[in-house]
Structure formats: C-alpha cells, structure tokens
C-alpha cells in the first residue's frame, strides 16, 4: 500500500439495513472500512456476523466497534475476527493510528450497551495509550462530542458526550468519525479536529478519508451525489 494515496471509507448506524452498501463508490478498493457502531438492532454476535459478512465480501479490511444498540458480546466477536477498535488503538498505516470508543451514555430507550460517562473516559485513555506515539490519528466515537453539530437533536438540544469532547480538545486527533444521533449528519471542527457524523447508512451518508501528501482529510459524502 502506498500511504501517500491511501483511502478509507467510514460509516455507522447500520441498524441491520445494508440495502445501500453495494452502492458506496470504490468500497471494494478502499484500504479499509471503518464502522462506528450500531451494527444491529439490539442484536448479538450472530446478527452482527450476518451484517458484517456482507461488508467482508466486498472489502475484508474492517475496523469496527459496537454502538449502544449492539449487545456487549459483539465486542468479543469483533475481537475474534481481529476487527475491534473499541477501547483499542491500532496502526492503520505508516504514522497513522486509529482508535475507537463504542457504547453510549444512558439514553431514554434503555438500549443494550449504555455506560456512565466516566467509563467512556477510561476507554478513550486506554485506546490512546496504544497509539499515542503516532503523529496522525483517527478517532472513532459512537457517541458524538458535546457541543458539536454532530450531537444536535431536531429540537435543538445538544446531547453529545463531554468525555469525547474533552479528549478531542486535549489530543486533537485529525479526524473524529462519529454517529449515534441519526438526524445530525454534519461536518464540524473542534480545534483542528474535523468531526463528521454521516447519519444512518440507509440514508446514504458515508465518510471518505484520504491520506495524501502527508495529510489526512475527510469529507461527508452521499451515495448518488
């Protein structure tokens, strides 16, 4: 792989709907597929496998984590496959690290994988320790950072995560791929960090991440545009 021309495709909030998966341009040619969480609808490892095998058949280089709608056992499944990025940091390419934090803080819907904010903070620090020596970083956070456009409900209320916000302010990763709030598809910045929520996959949103000329860049894309 020539890292100067590498690219990855990211999306999340699949919720078991992969009807548009095959329509994502260049998915098979990407250097990897990054999945931010909510693979299933309250499903476990078996259901996650059914969904992710569809991704694997197109592109086997998967980096994924659970969201609040996935049962905790899905993390064990992802570990077995070598795909897990929740609470982990990995080398994505030369000088580029990727790390993730799945789950979410408590919601009104009592979903399967909800934890206190302090737990997300611990997981963020744990993942970062593994790749903090790398000069470039992609953070994949299922819960979007508080105060960002990626966390705004239609009512205007911002329901983002404060631990994710503080981590971004402190570490300044190049890119934060997020999700969870389906109605908040957007691009935003926190300092130098570009924050992108592509919304639900079934609505056609995804993120194109490129590394070219020693720069990481990310852009919100829509299938058919």
Report whether 178 contacts 36 (CB < 8 A).
Answer: yes
pLDDT interval class at 201 (50, 70, 90): very high
pLDDT for residue 225: 82
Average confidence (pLDDT) over 120-132: 98
Return the axis-axis angle of helices 73-81 and 45-58, rounded to nearest 10°. 30
Q: Among residues 45, 33, 46, 36, which one has the least CA distance to residue 7?
A: 33
For residue 124, give the CATH number of its domain: 3.60.21.10
Residue 2 has pLDDT above 50, yes or no: no
Q: Among residues 87, 94, 51, 91, which one has the least CA distance to residue 70?
A: 51
Task: List the single range of 4-8, 132-136, 162-166 with lowest mean pLDDT.
Answer: 4-8
Average confidence (pLDDT) over 20-32: 98
Q: Token pair 């993942």 is at which residue?
A: 127
What is the per-residue burial (b if ≥16 Cβ within 10 Å, else e) of 28-42? eebbbbbbbbbbbee
pLDDT for residue 76: 98
Q: Among residues 136, 139, 157, which one has the least CA distance to residue 196?
A: 139
Residue 133 has pLDDT above 70, yes or no: yes
> 3-state DSSP helix/strand/coil percent for the chain, to nearest 5?
25, 30, 40
Q: Within 10 A of 2 (CB to CB), how many other CB atoms are there?
A: 10
Q: How far apart are the first and last CA of the chain?
A: 28
Q: Token pair 């997020």 is at which residue?
A: 178
pLDDT interval class at 5 (50, 70, 90): confident
Residue 143 has pLDDT above 90, yes or no: yes
Residue 99 has pLDDT above 50, yes or no: yes
Report whether 95 contacts 76 (CB < 8 A).
Answer: no
Domain enclosing residue 116, as ranges: 5-222
Does an H or E element contain 145, and which?
none
How many separate domains does the chain show?
A: 1
Residue 3 has pLDDT above 50, yes or no: no
């Amino acid at each position: 792989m020539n890292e100067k021309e590498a690219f990855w495709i990211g999306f999340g909030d699949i919720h078991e709907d992969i009807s548009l998966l095959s329509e994502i341009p260049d998915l098979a040619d990407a250097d990897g597929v990054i999945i931010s969480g909510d693979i299933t609808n309250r499903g476990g490892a078996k259901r996650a496998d059914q969904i992710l095998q569809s991704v694997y058949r197109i592109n086997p280089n998967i980096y994924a984590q659970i969201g609040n709608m996935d049962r905790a056992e899905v993390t064990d499944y992802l570990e077995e496959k070598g795909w897990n990025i929740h609470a982990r940091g990995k080398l994505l390419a030369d000088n580029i690290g990727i790390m993730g934090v799945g789950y979410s803080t408590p919601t009104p819907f009592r979903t399967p994988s909800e934890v206190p904010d302090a737990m997300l903070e611990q997981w963020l620090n744990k993942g970062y320790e593994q790749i903090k020596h790398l000069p470039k970083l992609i953070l994949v956070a299922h819960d979007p950072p508080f105060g960002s456009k990626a966390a705004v409900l239609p009512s205007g209320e911002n329901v983002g995560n404060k631990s994710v916000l503080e981590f971004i302010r402190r570490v300044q990763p190049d890119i934060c791929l997020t999700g969870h709030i389906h109605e908040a598809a957007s691009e935003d910045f926190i300092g130098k960090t570009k924050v992108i929520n592509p919304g639900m996959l079934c609505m056609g949103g995804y993120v194109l991440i490129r590394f070219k000329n020693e720069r990481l860049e990310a852009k919100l894309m829509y299938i058919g545009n």
